[in-house]
Structure 1
Amino acid sequence: MQLSRRDFLVAGAALVGGSMLGGLSACAGTVPRAQSLVPGVARVDLGGGVTVTAISDGYGSRAVDAAFVRNAALSEVQAALAEAGLPTDRLAIPYTVQLVDIGGQRVLFDTGNGEFGAATAGKVLENMTRAGIDPASVTAVVISHFHGDHINGLRNKAGQLVYPNAKVFVPAPEWAWWMDDARMAAAPAAMQGAYAAPRRVFGPMAANVVRFEPGSEVLPGVASVAAHGHTPGHTAFIVAGGDRKLMLWGDNTNVAALFVRHPDWSVAFDLDAEVARATRRRLAEQVLAQRLLLAGYHLPGAAIGTLVRRGDGYDFLPLSA
């Protein structure tokens, strides 16, 4: 199944027109373009032999209800979606992993849903194949956090590793939280699946999983940044290219029109809403101060772009093809 252009741009590449045009003009001549390889796969050259390839994993669907944003009225949320030209009753939320070629390594950041998501998700392998990327060529898998839509693509339902030659790197605080048997036993029934997924994925290879401390260098040219709040060990990364640096901020934001535009709003999925809000602001300000390119798992388009300030929030501007 090929994802349509609408599927790949799902959840709103469109932002408010005037703001988008102003942001692009300000960055003219300094921002690389995204090269479309096949539908659902785009590549950006960071210079110095470093490239990042955005690979769509499809999307999930969620109702826009009072529970989606914890600290904003449903009417405010729907108004923000309408302003961005998005549906106000139900959202398609994109999933995009990033494959970075750097220093002789081929590094996959998060793995998608694999065989465990909705019918509209789990498209990473399919899109890799169509783009001519061999999963066996991946030398490292770096995980931002342990939610199932980020880790389930590492191992299929038969128990086989999808990237057989890859060393796996995970944040140590995530491992400590989700692999704690006592914490799992005390968790409510609704959370049992969240604890079971890491055990299925990482349990058979536990001795070989590299656990790094956020703030350390994971691989040459790949630095980790503590980004806690969404989960206790949620981690962002900065990839250093020859011309530009790229921050991959994972689930620091969900729907861009809501949580990039209104960074103090809290999505239902953040485990510690207060810490997540502070992290969102801190990472956004770092992106702006250091003029970083930005990638995010739930960002629209190819999920790589630039960030601009807008009022008391921000806008995400996807790179043009």
Structure 2
Amino acid sequence: MLTRRQILTTIGAALAAPALPRRLWAGSTLTLGSVQIDTLSDGHLVLPGDFILGGMPQEEMAAIVGKYGLPTDRLEPPCNVTLMRDGTNTVLFDVGSGPDFMPTAGKLQEAMDALGVTVEDITHVCFTHAHPDHLWGLLDEFDEPLFPNAEFLIGQAEFDYWMDPETVNTIGEARTTFAVGAQRRLEVIADQVRKFGDGEEILPGIAARATFGHTPGHMAFEIRGGSESAMVVGDALGNHHVAFERPEWASGSDQDGPMAAQTRQALLDQLVAARMRLIGFHLPGGGIGHAEKADAGYRFVEEA
């Protein structure tokens, strides 16, 4: 039996105008042994600068941000969803924001189309955290999971936080919609989601790493292929400028600023010491690169 989504897709294809060149949303590709990793653009966000930069030493912050040719009053970070294929599993790390968050985002399906990957192909969805730009692309227009064949995985602490009925009352007025939206979506998959803790191998070659602070249960994922590995860092490293150059500064985008700052510093130390590549949700050039020491902090180096 055809699902409602398949029916609409078939009708839409039949009524479509002559095909225009597809916009290539795929960002960049990384190979680890037999594992292929692609980053797919979900578009970008449009944020007031204070949402990320507020509370930092303003003069020093402006000098750093200016080095990257960016303004401080408005930021437009990219959104990179990670796709991993190992010949057995086809795994998405986060699902983008869908149509209900910002008009500049929610483009993941265009990116998947560019690679010839369908929503039915996805075997697993692993969530770094439940903020709108990472979770709200979970459901289709009928409030059914957009990825019908996928198993959903999320950190136990993250799931518990967003499903707690008190979260909407304690998260703060600016993030109330985050809490309402997360709970509504997670309720839909509550009976089919697998929860995990720090250090668990959640799938062959994928280990969960606690990176709390941006949200109470934020997780990164270490992907191993052969003798190589890479870390999907989500929003633990939320930008390529102040987060790297001054990781000890609290960011307005983090729910627990001091904890997130400690996490950033420890994560960057680990990535540099291990010479491990990283994949960042809001980093430029598709988000794949590595960190290196620079002056008193670090710098992000995009994958060539």
Regions of 4+ moved over 6 Å: none
Deviates more, 1:304-313 or 1:154-163: 154-163
> Is contact 1:46-1:244 (8 Å) kept?
no
Q: Secondary structure at the match of 2:152?
A: strand
Distance 1:183 1:41 in 2: 35
| 1:230 to 2:214 alignment | yes
**TM-score, normalised via structure 2 length:** 0.88
**Partner SS, residue 43 of structure 2:** strand
Partner Cα distance (1:183, 1:89) in 2: 29
The structure whose RCO (Cα within 8 Å, separation 6+) is larger is 1
Q: Name 1:41's counterpart in structure 2.
A: 26
Give, in whole Å, the separation in 2 of the partners of 1:187 and 1:119: 25
- In the alignment, structure 2 segments of 5+ residues that lack a partner are 1-21
Indicate conservation of the 8 Å contact 2:247/2:264, yes or no: yes
- Find out whether 1:142 has 2:106 as its counterpart: no
Aligned to 2:184: 200
The 1:188–1:133 alpha-carbon spacing in structure 2 relative to 1, beyond 3 Å, is: same
CA deviations on 1:249-308 (whole Å, 9 max, x unpaired) are 110122211211211122212111111111001111111111111001111111001111
User: In the alignment, residue 69 of structure 2 is paired with which amino acid?
Assistant: G
What's the counterpart of residue 58 of structure 1? 43
Q: Distance in 2 between matches of 1:154 and 1:289?
A: 35
- Give 3-state SS (helix, strand or coil) of 1:260's partner: helix
SS at match of 2:76: strand
Q: Distance in 1 between matches of 2:56 and 2:190?
A: 41
Residue segments in structure 1 that go unaligned for 5+ positions in a row = 1-36
CA distance in 2: counterparts of 1:243 and 1:156, whole angstroms: 38
TM-score, scaled to structure 1: 0.83
Aligned length: 283
Within a 5 Å distance, the mapping from 1:50-199 to structure 2 comes to: 50-65=35-50, 68-102=52-86, 104-199=88-183
Q: 2:257 aligns with which of 259, 270, 273?
A: 273
For 2:200, give the aligned amino acid: S
Counterpart residue type for residue 150 of structure 2? A
CA distance in 2, matches of 1:248, 1:103: 19
RMSD: 1.8
Equivalent residue number for residue 13 of structure 2: none
Partner Cα distance (1:187, 1:78) in 2? 28
Counterpart of 2:246 in structure 1 is 262
Sequence identity (%): 33
Contact 1:261 1:315 survives alignment (8 Å): yes
